[in-house]
Homo-oligomer: A and B are copies of this chain.
């Protein structure tokens, strides 16, 4: 498929897809015309990229990780042993982030719930 279709089916802008290639996250083949030709497997790759970006990893880190889960879903790569340290560091970072997010959520919950016992009338919280 070409970039327009991949963009539509993933909801990711063409600019972003080209950016991912520039950063080494995608490696589409090229038609004689120069048009990018994407493999169906790239659909899942793009979703993985988005997941990891959403979790706060940068493109350089993702570029290191992707080969380890790469390609067709069949054979996972040998899992580049030298990456373990980085992976668990990222995992720890994510865990810390989750903790902080939950703490912040608790804070917002406290604010939202507060007036319920400060006011007389029942103010619908949602």
Contacts and interface: CB of A to CB of B under 8 A. Distances in A.
A109 B94 contact: no
A12 interface: no
B107 A52 contact: yes
Contact of A79 (B79, B103, B115): B115
Contact of A100 (B55, B68, B84, B90): B55
A76 interface: yes
A46 interface: no
Which of A65, A69, A98, A101: most chain B Cβ within 10 A? Answer: A101
Contact of A87 (B87, B103, B112, B123): B112
Nearest to A51: B104
Nearest to A106: B51
Interface string A99-126: 0111111011111101100100001011
6 contacts: A79-B111, A79-B115, A91-B112, A94-B101, A94-B108, A101-B101
Given A52-B104, A69-B110, 17 more contacts: A69-B107, A69-B111, A76-B114, A79-B115, A79-B118, A87-B111, A88-B112, A90-B108, A91-B105, A94-B101, A94-B105, A94-B108, A95-B105, A97-B101, A98-B98, A98-B105, A101-B101
